[in-house]
Amino acid sequence: MRLLPLLCLMALSSPLLAQKAKAGKAGTPPPAKPPLVSVDIAKLPEGTTRLDLFLLMGQSNMKGRGVMPEEPKHDPRIVMMHLRDDQWYLARHPLHLTGDAKSFKGHDNAGVGPGLAFAEVIAGANPKSVIGLVPCAVGGSSIMLWLKDAKLYDEALRRAKLALQITAPVKARIRGVIWLQGEADARPEALPQHAERLRAMIESLRTDLALPELPFIACTVGEMRDEPQLANLKAMNDILLALPKSVPHTACVDARDLKTHIGDSVHFDTAAQNEIGRRFAAKLIGLMKP
């Protein structure tokens, strides 16, 4: 007899537990069907004459955690190199898809980042170009992993060179890098070395790609935390905003006014990510050569 009330309580609490679990994952939904659409990167769509490649580097805000649209975009002029298989597909969210291209099995918490909105503006400004995105960001990564010979630097360089090799038939060019990173290094012990480390990474990347004037656009990190974290984030943003003064052919997007996030005071929401993407594009257009 005592078992019945217990079973009833369990039945009532299960939906509540499921609801709480679901709420805890807000902002990181799985990709929507259908699967990714494969493209032949060695052939340009009709009406286009060139392929411009861009590297997307940084940590989780570049990777993106924003809520994805129900219907994926399929613009034939915007393509992406898949993280898992190095193949090319029509670009859609999440650009940093770690799951299988057809089933999405293995997908992590990647969502909307700034990359697709960035590409849409670049494509609009260059109607004869196909925009090729090479996602490389990894959540939580310190700049130490992005220095020459470190794991993430080596992987980004490998993907960049592979993209150039695969696209050789259409003579693609790497036209720029967008960079959103800094939360992991917004610490008193890391901040004093950050400017020099960032400069060294940019110079190494330009040397290894034989592109001495490769445009590099950074972005400030979100100032959405409380003290004492906020003071460290502000110090990081001072470093990022000063980048163009010390390293040529660079710029920095100022996103300090964007305060909307997915509920964790760290990751920008979809609206903020799209605005950051547009700001990235505006800065990069100002640095790109014909």
Task: Give domain limits for the chain.
Answer: 36-287
Q: What is the pLDDT of residue 28?
A: 60
Q: Do the beta carbons of residue 27 and residue 262 sit within 8 Å?
A: yes
pLDDT above 90 coverage of the chain, percent: 84
In DSSP terms, 20 is beta-bridged to: none
Closest among 57, 55, 54, 27 to 181, alpha carbons compared: 57
Q: pLDDT tens digits, residue range 147-184?
A: 999 999 999 999 999 999 999 999 999 999 999 999 99
Enclosing H/E stretch for 56: strand 50-58
The number of CA neighbours under 13 Å toward the Cβ of 268 is: 30
Q: What is the pLDDT of residue 29?
A: 65
CATH topology of domain 36-287: Rossmann fold (3.40.50)
Q: What is the pLDDT of residue 73?
A: 86
Q: What is the DSSP letter of 99?
A: S
Q: Which residues of the chain have pLDDT under 70?
A: 1-30
- Measured between its terminal Cα atoms, the distance across the chain in Å is 81
pTM for the predicted model, two decimal places: 0.90
Q: What is the pLDDT of residue 209?
A: 98
Q: What is the pLDDT of residue 288?
A: 86
Q: What is the pLDDT of residue 34?
A: 87
Q: What is the pLDDT of residue 172?
A: 97
